[in-house]
């Protein structure tokens, strides 16, 4: 049997404890053997001054996952044509790592819009989807063995809240994974 890797994508601007808690939970309590936090690059057509440089966001992901079993960082989308579609990322990952089966990890908010995603039925049938709850979003389940709903615990934290707090001079160390607060301070980010 191939190892199953969950691709958990995001902008991670910055990565926070909620992301790490979820990834760790899924690697321990679902059929996923590993979870790869997969960095979405800057979109050249949607330049946002809030979105930090790819390299900073990648460095923070590396600090946050250092020494955490079953949770890894994936930067494959940084070298792919943009904007990147999930189906293309999954195809590329499968070519590069034929020893793994890839699933995607998405929140209930995205699941409810999933039929708008490019090639969504191929994502379900050829790969697989793991859905975790998001507060305020009711889940519309379907009876497909390739779509697994996991009742993961959620931390009430968001990157937006963290960026705003830093800009307002607050200490947000307790919301951030190991090393990330030091990195933000040392590089004077989000001010």
CA distance 64 to 39: 13
- Smaller CB distance to ligand ATP: residue 19 or 124? 19
- Smaller CB distance to ligand ATP: residue 45 or 95? 45
- Smaller CB distance to ligand ATP: residue 136 or 145? 136
- Smaller CB distance to ligand ATP: residue 19 or 84? 19
Nearest-approach distance from CB 110 to ligand ATP, in angstroms: 6
Nearest-approach distance from CB 42 to ligand ATP, in angstroms: 13
CA atoms within 13 A on the CB side of 125: 4
For residue 41, the 8-state DSSP code is P
Identify which of 71, 106, 74, 93 has the alpha carbon closest to the alpha carbon of residue 2.
93
Sheet hosting strand 100-107, strand order edge to edge: 71-74, 34-39, 3-10, 100-107, 129-132, 147-149
Residues written for the chain: 191
CA distance 117 to 135: 22
Q: Is the previous residue joined to 174 through a cis bond, with omega within 30 degrees of 0?
A: no
**Tokens describing residue 69:** 């079993």
- Smaller CB distance to ligand ATP: residue 23 or 124? 23
Nearest-approach distance from CB 35 to ligand ATP, in angstroms: 11
Nearest-approach distance from CB 1 to ligand ATP, in angstroms: 28
Residues lying near ligand ATP in the complex (CB under 6 A): 10-13, 18-19, 22, 107, 154-155, 157-160
Nearest-approach distance from CB 107 to ligand ATP, in angstroms: 4
């Amino acid at each position: 049997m191939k190892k199953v890797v969950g691709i958990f994508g995001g902008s991670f601007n910055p990565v926070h404890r909620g992301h790490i808690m979820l990834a760790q939970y899924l690697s321990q309590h679902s059929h996923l053997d590993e979870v790869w936090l997969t960095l979405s690059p800057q979109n050249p057509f949607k330049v946002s001054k809030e979105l930090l440089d790819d390299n900073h966001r990648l460095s923070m992901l590396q600090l946050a996952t250092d020494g955490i079993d079953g949770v890894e960082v994936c930067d494959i989308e940084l070298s792919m044509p943009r904007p990147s579609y999930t189906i293309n990322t999954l195809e590329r990952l499968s070519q590069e790592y034929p020893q793994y089966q890839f699933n995607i990890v998405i929140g209930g908010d995205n699941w409810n819009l999933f039929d708008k995603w490019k090639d969504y039925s191929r994502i379900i049938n050829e790969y697989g989807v793991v859905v975790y709850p998001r507060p305020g979003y009711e889940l519309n389940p379907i009876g497909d063995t390739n779509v697994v709903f996991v009742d993961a615990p959620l931390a009430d934290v968001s990157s937006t809240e963290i960026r705003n707090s830093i800009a307002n001079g607050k200490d947000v160390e307790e919301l951030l994974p190991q090393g990330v607060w030091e990195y933000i301070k040392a590089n004077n980010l989000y001010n």
